[in-house]
C-alpha cells in the first residue's frame, strides 16, 4: 500500500467551514507564522551601548579667567543684546558623558545668581557647562 492510497477516502471531501466561528482573514492567518521576537528591545539596547558620548572638559584656571572676562564684557553690553558664539556641554540623560553644542545668537539676559545665560530664542545655558564664549561682531 502506498501513501496515496491511504488518503483516497478523504482527498475529495469539501473543506470544513465552521458554523460558529467567522473565517479568519488572510492577514490574521499569516500573523500566526510571523517570527517571534524573544529579545524585544535588544537591538535598541545595543544601539544605546554603541552610541558615543563626549567626556566633559575641565577648564584650567587661565581658561576660566578668559571666559569670565568675556562674560563681563557681554554683561556691560547686555542692553544691546550682543551676538555671541558659545560652545557648551549638554549632559546625556541616559549614560555617562554628553555632547558639546555650538550655538550663535543674541543674549537676552545673564543671571549671575542662577549662573545662566538666556538667549533671545529662549535657550538657557548653564554657565558651568560653557567651555568657549566669544562676542561676534555686529
pLDDT digits (tens, 9 = 90+) for 99-128: 899 999 999 999 999 999 999 999 999 999
- Per the CB < 8 A criterion, the answer to whether 117 and 104 are in contact is no
Residue 54: partners with Cβ closer than 8 Å, 6 or more residues away: 89, 97, 98, 99, 100
Q: What are phi and psi of 34, to 5 degrees?
A: -70, 155
User: What pLDDT sits at residue 5?
Assistant: 66
pLDDT digits (tens, 9 = 90+) for 49-106: 667 778 888 999 999 999 999 999 999 999 999 999 999 999 888 888 888 999 999 9
Compute CA 89 distance to the chain's CA centroid, rounded to the nearest angstrom. 15
User: What pLDDT sits at residue 63?
Assistant: 93
CA dihedral 56, 121, 86, 48 (to 10 degrees): 30
**E strands, the chain, in order:** 83-91, 98-111, 116-119, 124-126, 130-135
Amino acid at each position: 500500500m502506498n501513501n496515496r492510497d491511504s488518503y483516497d477516502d478523504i482527498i475529495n471531501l469539501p473543506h470544513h467551514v465552521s458554523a460558529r466561528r467567522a473565517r479568519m482573514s488572510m492577514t490574521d492567518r499569516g500573523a500566526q507564522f510571523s517570527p517571534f521576537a524573544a529579545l524585544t528591545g535588544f537591538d535598541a539596547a545595543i544601539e544605546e551601548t554603541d552610541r558615543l558620548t563626549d567626556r566633559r572638559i575641565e577648564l584650567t584656571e587661565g581658561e576660566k579667567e578668559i571666559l569670565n572676562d568675556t562674560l563681563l564684557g557681554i554683561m556691560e553690553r547686555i542692553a544691546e543684546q550682543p551676538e555671541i558664539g558659545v560652545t557648551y556641554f549638554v549632559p546625556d540623560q541616559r549614560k555617562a558623558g554628553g555632547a558639546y553644542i555650538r550655538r550663535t545668537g543674541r543674549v537676552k539676559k545673564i543671571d549671575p545668581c542662577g549662573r545662566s545665560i538666556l538667549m533671545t530664542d529662549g535657550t538657557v545655558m548653564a554657565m558651568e557647562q560653557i567651555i568657549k564664549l566669544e562676542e561676534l561682531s555686529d
